[in-house]
Structure 1
Amino acid sequence: MATSTPPLQLLGCDFSSSPTRRKPVLLAWGTLSQGRVQLQRLERLETLDNFAACMARDEVWLGGFDMPFGLPRELVETLGWPREWEACIGHYAALSRSEIRDCFAAFCDARPVGGKFAHRATDRPAGSSPSMKWVNPPVAYMLHAGVPRLLAAGVYVPGLQPRAKATAKVALEAYPGLLAREVLGQRSYKSDDRAKQTPERLIARKDLLTALELGQTRLGLRLKLSHAQHDALVDDASGDSLDAVLCLMQAAWAQTQHVAGAPLYGLPADMDTLEGWIVTA
C-alpha cells in the first residue's frame, strides 16, 4: 500500500534584531493543502542564539522571513562594497551596529533632503522601508542579525544564491505589511505601545483575520485556524503573532508558485541578484 507524502512544512517569521522574552522572534508553523493554510503552532525564540539553533535544526521547510535580505545596489556601489550578494553579506556581517549606523548616516548626510535613503527596486511595489534604515524600524539591524544566521544554517535563498547544492531549507524575504494593507488599507492593526492598543486596532485585527480565513486576498489561499488560535491572534495587540501568520501565508503562496513550475518561487526572473525581492510584491 502506497504511503502519501507528508505536506511540506511552512513557516512565517516575525523577526526582531534584539529579541527578548517580551518581544521574541515569532515563528508561525503550518502546512498547505488544497488551497488551505493550516496554522499548526507558534514558536517563540527569546534570543538570537535560539533563532540560530532553530534554523539549524535538521528539518525540511520553506519560510517567509520579515527582514530585508539585501541592501540597495546604489548604497553598495557608492560604498565600494562587494557587488556579489553572499560576499556583500559577509562584509556587512563583519561590521558592528555602530559602524553600520555611522556609515549609513554619513551616506545620508551627503544626499539632498527628500532623498536621504537609497531604495531597492522592491521597496516601491511592496511599500516597505528602505533596508538601510537603522531606526523606526531598524531593518538594517534585522538584516545584520538575521541573514548571516540563515546562511550559517545552510538555507537556500532563491534568486540571490546559485543552486549549487541541494538543501532542505528555503528562505524568502516576506513582508506582512504588504498583505495587511491589501485588506485594511491604511488602518493600523497593531502597536507595541499599550496606550495605542485601541478598540479600533482590535477590530482591524479581527477584520484582517476574517479576510484571511475567507481567502479574500489576491494570494487565493484560505487560512485555517482553531478557535483558540483565532482568539490568540486577535488578543496579541502587538500584532507580532499575526505578522508571523501573514508571512506564513506569503510562504504558502510561494509554494504554490514553485509547484506550478516557477523556479524562483514566484520571485521575478529579472530581480536584482544583489538587492533581493519581497515575495508576492
Structure 2
Amino acid sequence: MKTTNPDRPVLLGVDFSSAPTRRKPITLALGSRHGAIVRLDGLQHFDTLAGFGEWLARPGHWLGGFDFPFCLPRELVRALGWPEQWLALMAHYAALPRAEIRELFAAFCAARPVGAKFAHRACDGPAGASPSMKWVNPPVAWMLHAGVPLLLAAGAELPGLQAGDPQRVALEAYPGLLARELLGRRSYKSDERAKQTPERLIARKDLVEALEQGRSVRLGLRLKLSHAQRDDLVADASGDRLDAVLCLMQAAWASAQPRYGWPADVDPLEGWILSA
C-alpha cells in the first residue's frame, strides 16, 4: 500500500456486508487528506469475508472508518450474563452460532415493553444508529459477528477497545450520520430495484455535491473527486460506494482529532461512533 506521505496513513472507508457476494460486495474507499480536502484515491470490492480479511492483515499504514458496530449494549450484555470486558465479550459472541444469538436476543426483546424492545449503546442516540443487537433490517448484529473477528485476526488496533498494530487503526463509522446532516431524512439508496427511483438519484447527486462543497459543519472537510468518480458514486443506486466514501470522510475527520474524536467518558465496553 502506497501513500504520498509515509508519515500519514492511507484513509479508508468501509461499507460492510456480513455475507458479501459479487452482486453485493464489501466496498472499500481509499483516500488521503490534504488540509481540509479529502481526495478519493480509489475503490476496491471484496466478494468474500476471507478476501477482505486477507487485505486487512497485509502490512500497511491506514486509518479506517468501518460501517458496522464494534460492540453490544452493556445493558444487554449484563442481562445475558456475558463477559463485560470487551475482548472476552467479543470472543464469546463470535463463538456463538447466529441461531442461538437470535433466540437470546428475541427473548430479551419479548420481555420488554413496546417502544423499548431493544437495548441501545450510549452512542446510538447521538449517531441515529440502529441498535447493535438488531438482527434484521438492517442485520447489524450479524455485521458485528462477522466484522470484529476480521479486525482482531488481522491484528488491527481498535482505539479504546483493543491494542494492536498502531499502523492499522480501525474505528466505528456510520454513514447515515453524515448523510442526514446533509440531506435530512431524504432517502438516497435502495437495494431493491423497484425503489431505485429518480428521487433517490437526485438525492445522491445532492449528497455528492454537498460533500464536494464542504457543507458538513460537523466535519469541516471537502471531498475532491474526478468527473468519473462523481458519476460512479451517483450511478450506484445501492449507495454502497457512496456509503464507503461517507465513512472515508468520517475517518479523515478522526485523523486530526485528539483520541480520534472520542468523548472522555465513553463506555470502554460499548465504544463510540465517529463524529457522533
**TM-score bracket, shorter-length normalisation:** over 0.9
- Matched ranges for 1:33-52 at <5 A: 33-52=34-53
1:113-167, Cα deviation, whole Å (9 max, x unpaired) = 1111000000100000000000000000000000011011011111112x4x652
Q: Is the 8 A contact 2:156 2:165 kept in 1?
A: no
Match of 2:160?
Answer: 159
Give, as a single letter, the amino acid of the residue that structure 2 aligns with 1:110.
A
TM-score (norm 1): 0.95
Match of 1:67?
Answer: 68
- Matched ranges for 1:137-176 at <5 A: 137-161=138-162, 163=163, 166-176=165-175
Gaps of 5+ in 1: none
Match of 1:188?
Answer: 187
Separation in 2, partners of 1:118, 1:226: 42
Q: Does 1:244 align with 2:239?
A: no
Separation in 2, partners of 1:159, 1:268: 11
Q: Is the 8 A contact 2:188 2:200 kept in 1?
A: yes
- Matched ranges for 1:81-96 at <5 A: 81-96=82-97
Match of 1:209?
Answer: 208
SS in structure 2 at match of 1:71: coil
Q: Taking structure 1 as reference, are residues 253 and 121 closer, same or farther at Cα in structure 2, changes over 3 Å only? A: same
Separation in 1, partners of 2:171, 2:165: 16
Aligned length: 272
Gaps of 5+ in 2: none
Separation in 2, partners of 1:138, 1:176: 16
Q: Does 1:278 align with 2:273?
A: yes
Instruction: Return the offset for 1:168.
Output: 1.2
1:24-50, Cα deviation, whole Å (9 max, x unpaired) = 000000000121111011000001111
Give, as a single letter, the amino acid of the residue that structure 2 aligns with 1:270.
D
TM-score (norm 2): 0.96
Q: Is the 8 A contact 1:67 1:173 kept in 2?
A: yes
1:169-191, Cα deviation, whole Å (9 max, x unpaired) = 00000000000000100000000
Separation in 2, partners of 1:242, 1:251: 14
Report the RMSD for the aligned CA atoms in angstroms. 1.2
Q: Percent identity?
A: 69
Q: Is the 8 A contact 1:126 1:178 kept in 2?
A: yes
1:167-223, Cα deviation, whole Å (9 max, x unpaired) = 210000000000000010000000001111111101100111111001110201110
